[in-house]
Structure 1
Amino acid sequence: MGMHCPRWLSVVSVLLAAILTLVMPIAPATSTAAPGDPVAAAAAVEPAVARIDTEIDYQNAFGTGTGIVLDGGGQVLTNYHVVQGADRLSATVAGRSYPAELVGYDRGRDIAVIQLLGAGGLPVAPIGDSAALVAGEPVVALGNAQGSAAPLTREVGSITAFGRTVQAEDTLTGSSDELNGLIEFAAPVRAGDSGGPVVNSAGQVVGITTAASVSFRMGPGGKGFAIPINDAVGIANQIRSRVPSDSVHIGPPALLGVGVRTAPTDVPGVLIQEVLRGGPAEAAGLMDGDVLIAINGNRLSSATALTYTLDRFYPGTVVDVTWIDRAGQERAGRATLAPGP
């Protein structure tokens, strides 16, 4: 309570720390990370980092993100939210820019793979084992937060927790997702770092920085969240094999052409705020202010439910659409889904 620590107690504390340092290595080692300068180790991964740039016509918006080169032919792992809704994608690796296209994605796990067109002989990121990570281990997050013309960000921090759950919301569609099983690390990552590698002291990628970090106030000592690389690569390999499933969608998303929000609790369905002019919904007869209640008989309880329902379909599919118009009449029609951006 305002008193100075006795000098002998300080000496005992130092001695105890020294004793613990000597004793601790006797316990079984649980990390494969090599000692050394983590920034120097991360430098080995930098050539295999992709700087991703996106354009969205609807919002006249430009975005940046980061990716990890998985093979020399130009397949790149990133977050789905980095490329979601983009009309045009490009990525720069080792100073050269390539147009890119979406191979596929897992929306719920926020994973996507893009293909850089015309790429060959690219440096490939060394992949580590995220199951070998331990709390306190140093890591470096590499990213594109400063923009593709600037040096990569190198955020140094340490692993602080495992198995974390965070909420991520898409402000454009109103849908939200819960991301589970994330690694938490103490480093001030920012939005453009999303999709980038988290690198251990052995110079291996052990995680992929994900969207949830941007919902926290960033600064010195800020925290980021990463998808364990073991999980991310497993999903990416399924996408690269072009094997669709309930969670993995191959190719561009199927577009109905509506902007929606979850309707009030006494209304079944989703409220259509805007119908895209010239889109499938308009051709089917839907209008602004209608309430969409089902697609192919699948009832829609929220904006998130609509997003995941559409993920089960592919462009060119004809679906039955049921809605309530602004006069309160239930109506039905058919829509041919378009390839989404």
Structure 2
Amino acid sequence: MSGSHRRKPRRSLSLLGLLAATGLTLATVPANASPTMPPIPRDAASASAVVGPQIVDIDAKLGFQSAIGAGTGIVIDPSVILTNNHVIAGATDLTARSIANGQTFPATVIGFDRQHDIAVLQLAGGGLPVANIGNSDTVHVGDPVVSLGNAGGAGGAPSVEDGRVSALGQTVSANDALTGSTETLTGLIQIDANIRPGDSGGPTVNAANQVVGLNTAATSNYHLGRGQGFAIPINEAMAIAGQIRSGASSATVHIGPTAFLGVGVNDAGGGAGAIIRQVIPTGPGAGAGLNPGDVITAINGQPVNSATALTNILDQHHPGDHVTVGLQGRSVDVQLGDGPPG
């Protein structure tokens, strides 16, 4: 791919409609979704004045995709940012611009949880005002909310959308366009605020300007001004962020640098493995002789039956690890590189 283009965090595929704020797609709408209600008037300008300084605009250079992504983050410590994993996935360079003082800071990934779409960043700087974290267990259908973010990746003053909580316990499903892996997010707060691409990782706040949700998705009709947004409950997001900050890796939480095979894959179909569709020329896979069209069936003897399975297995490794990549008809030894997160 030549040149570069602006890419708001986006994933695609699956079921009903494209959820453009994260590119997630809606999988189910539970029966507890309430009828559409007119939003309770809120002073969105007041929310922006109070909460805006507690967020950052995130720019992600996606070097292997010749693109630039944009999203939002919430300041949870003077130099620590909470955001979505998909905002930083594939980033070879990250910066965060403070809404509070306009400063731009280099950022590194402390860790991420791809399955729950959470990432935590460390800024090379500090002193930022910290968000007022609320209790998402107290959120009810009909509550007035305001969602803030970096709509369109424009930067500067945050975008602000007000609305109501329209449902709880929602589920969405998504596919990552580069790795081919899929994920399902559950327990989401659905809101009738018009969240847009670039708002991912921003806060949804209650009437007291307390953060109760982490913006993560929106229906594809956001551009018509009547979309539905989805947010990860802040209690869940902060629990995972705490685990990441403690350095406690798990089956879903990855801490530190990311192991890099240097290939993009899709499902081979029928559980046959992960078929390589792209090989990064400078990556370790290319050096080991992996080619587009090869089907990966195992890593160190662990079966690979899908693109998602390959991603999950590689998450268990770190840069410098030697692995045996099983292919249909042969195998190759690869020393994993240091790759982009997520």
TMscore range, shorter length: 0.7 to 0.9
Work out which of the two has the higher radius of gyration on C-alpha atoms and give 1 or 2: 1
The 8 Å contact of residues 42 and 200 in structure 1, kept in 2 or not, is answered as no
RMSD in angstroms over aligned alpha carbons? 1.7
In structure 2, do the counterparts of structure 1 residues 140 and 121 end up closer, same or farther at CA, with 3 Å as the change threshold? same
Partner of 2:162: 156
Q: Which whole-Å CA distance do the structure 1 matches of 2:215 and 2:87 have between them?
A: 11
Q: Deviations over 1:210-261 (max 9, x none)?
A: 0x32555443231000000000000001111111111100123211111111
Q: Which whole-Å CA distance do the structure 2 matches of 1:160 and 1:184 have between them?
A: 6
Partner of 1:241: 246
Structure 1 residue 102 corresponds to structure 2 residue 109: yes
Question: Please, what TM-score do these two structures have when normalized by structure 2?
Answer: 0.83
Unaligned runs of 5+ in 1: 1-34, 325-329
Q: Which whole-Å CA distance do the structure 2 matches of 1:37 and 1:147 have between them?
A: 24
Q: Which whole-Å CA distance do the structure 1 matches of 2:276 and 2:153 have between them?
A: 35
Q: 2:263 aligns with which of 252, 258, 266?
A: 258
In structure 2, do the counterparts of structure 1 residues 70 and 158 end up closer, same or farther at CA, with 3 Å as the change threshold? same
Map residues 192-211 of structure 1 onto 2, 5 A cutoff. 192-210=198-216
Partner of 1:178: 184
The 8 Å contact of residues 41 and 200 in structure 1, kept in 2 or not, is answered as no
User: Residue 128 of structure 2 aligns to which amino acid in structure 1?
Assistant: L
Q: Deviations over 1:109-131 (max 9, x none)?
A: 000001111x1211000000000
The structure showing larger relative contact order (alpha-carbon pairs under 8 Å, at least 6 residues apart) is 2
In structure 2, do the counterparts of structure 1 residues 147 and 332 end up closer, same or farther at CA, with 3 Å as the change threshold? closer
Q: Which whole-Å CA distance do the structure 2 matches of 1:221 and 1:45 have between them?
A: 24
Q: 1:315 aligns with which of 306, 310, 319?
A: 319
Partner of 1:11: none
The 8 Å contact of residues 107 and 247 in structure 1, kept in 2 or not, is answered as yes
Partner of 2:291: 287
Q: Displacement, 1:316?
A: 1.2
Q: Deviations over 1:278-299 (max 9, x none)?
A: 3222233322221111001111
Larger CA deviation: 128-137 vs 50-59: 50-59
Helix, strand or coil at the partner of 2:53: helix
Q: Which whole-Å CA distance do the structure 2 matches of 1:65 and 1:287 have between them?
A: 33
| Residue identity (%) | 50
Larger CA deviation: 274-283 vs 221-230: 274-283
Partner of 1:222: 227
The 8 Å contact of residues 182 and 225 in structure 1, kept in 2 or not, is answered as yes
Map residues 25-40 of structure 1 onto 2, 5 A cutoff. 37=43, 39-40=45-46
Q: Displacement, 1:333?
A: 2.2
Map residues 318-337 of structure 1 onto 2, 5 A cutoff. 318-324=322-328, 330-337=329-336
Partner of 1:296: 300
